[in-house]
Amino acid sequence: MSTITIVGAGMMGSALAFPARENGHDVRLTGTHLDREIIETSKRTGQHPKFDRPFPAGVEYFQIEQLDEALRDADMVICGVNSFGVDWFMENVLPHIPDTTPVLSVTKGLIAYDDGTLISYPEYWKRNIAPRRMNLNAVGGPCTSYELVAHDHTIVTFCGEDVPTLRLMRELMQTSYYHIRISTDVMAVESAVALKNAYALGVALAVGLSEKINGVGSKPHYNSQAAMFYQGVTEIRKLLLYLTGSDEQIDTAAGDMYVTVFGGRTRLIGTLLGRGYTIDKALEELKGVTLESLVIIGRINKAIKRLAADGKLDARDFPLLMHMDAIIEGKATSEEIPWTSFTE
């Protein structure tokens, strides 16, 4: 039996308490400063307020002020914050974790520098905490939190630099329904799962456009959705080849994009934009919802435009990404999807 500490009581971080505890480990779910009500509710009821079933018996709950207690003698730490908490986790949690304790991050996204360079969050942490050499890892793949809680089968990828560590974490976390691959290509896995968030919004545009034309609740039209999915995979493959020199993780991106298209925050914002909502109106409709897809679209577009200006990429190879950015910037509408550009 091991001790697994989860920092961040959002939906995915909290969902990982299920396989961890069901494998017989001590699980300490620790909230950030934004998770106080979640932790209090979970402690009082034994159930996360957004899940429809209780946590496995024995999960312990901690507020952020109890971080040192929650981390004491932990065999593994799971970072459960979203992309807006990357710096907070680096500044407030990593200093309390021993270098030898493996950290597994569920956070999806990329950091973009002004020169067009894109790096993963584990690499961002690694650069900023040097000369410390921590055991930083990440997880990506087609998995939604509420279906993980429901024990629906899924396959994810644990990625990091040390194979023995990855095997250890897989042994700690894998269950009959939570299936885990391992990879040492951190940038490829992290790029794949970040990019899928951007392009899932593109597929959702087609959903919203169909609703705009035929009415909300009308029979779904799948041709346009599939076409956007196809274009999304095409553009992700090109970006993976540029960023990592390989497209081996395209399956991770495609699988994760598939599940994201069918539910969650990215589908919501994409559908509203597809119906013709302005970005301001859509954000007002989804007030309080974390929208990481908008962040990654902005960062990738910024990077591509800089790389194109330097002659390293051709922006015309990414018409869907450019169109999504134009919609977010209020310079285009969903009805102006550049279908012809997808075939040139």
Domain ranges of the chain: 3-184, 191-342
Which architecture characterizes domain 3-184 according to CATH?
3-Layer(aba) Sandwich (3.40)
In the block, which residue shows the tokens 């410390």? 132
The tens digit of pLDDT for each residue in 35-58 reads: 999 999 999 999 999 999 999 999
Furthest-apart CA atoms within the chain: distance in Å: 58
DSSP conformation letters of 112-126: E-TTS-EEEHHHHHH
3-state secondary structure of 287: coil
Q: What whole-number percentage of the chain has pLDDT above 70?
A: 100
- Is the pTM here over 0.85, yes or no? yes
The C-alpha atoms of residue 283 and residue 278 are separated, in whole angstroms, by 9
The C-alpha atoms of residue 244 and residue 316 are separated, in whole angstroms, by 20
Strands 103-105 and 136-140: parallel
Per-residue tokens: 163: 């194979």
List helix spans (H) across the chain. Answer: 11-15, 17-22, 36-45, 67-71, 86-92, 121-129, 145-149, 163-173, 186-214, 222-244, 250-261, 265-274, 279-285, 292-309, 319-328, 339-342
Per-residue tokens: 242: 């540029």
**Per-residue confidence of the chain (344 residues) as pLDDT tens digits?**
899 999 999 999 999 999 999 999 999 999 999 999 999 999 999 999 999 999 999 999 999 999 999 999 999 999 999 999 999 999 999 999 999 999 999 999 999 999 999 999 999 999 999 999 999 999 999 999 999 999 999 999 999 999 999 999 999 999 999 999 999 999 999 999 999 999 999 999 999 999 999 999 888 889 999 999 999 999 999 999 999 999 999 999 999 999 999 878 889 999 999 999 999 999 898 887 778 889 999 999 999 999 999 999 999 999 999 999 999 998 988 889 999 999 98
Query: Contact 5/78 with Cβ under 8 angstroms?
Result: yes
Rounded to the nearest angstrom, the gap between the alpha carbon of residue 67 and the centroid of all alpha carbons in its chain is 24
Rg (CA), the chain: 20
The C-alpha atoms of residue 297 and residue 322 are separated, in whole angstroms, by 9
**What residues have CB less than 8 Å from 85, skipping those under 6 apart?**
8, 32, 107
Q: Would you state the torsion angle of the CA atoms of residues 171, 173, 179, 182, taken in this order, to the nearest 10 degrees?
A: -60
Per-residue tokens: 175: 């269950």
Query: Which element (helix H / strand E) includes 60?
Result: strand 60-62
Considering the four listed CATH numbers 1.10.1040.10, 3.10.440.10, 1.20.1250.20, 3.40.640.10, the one that applies to the domain covering 191-342 is 1.10.1040.10
CB atoms within 10 A of CB 219: 8
Closest CA to 67 of 84, 50, 88, 44: 88
DSSP 8-class letter at 334: G
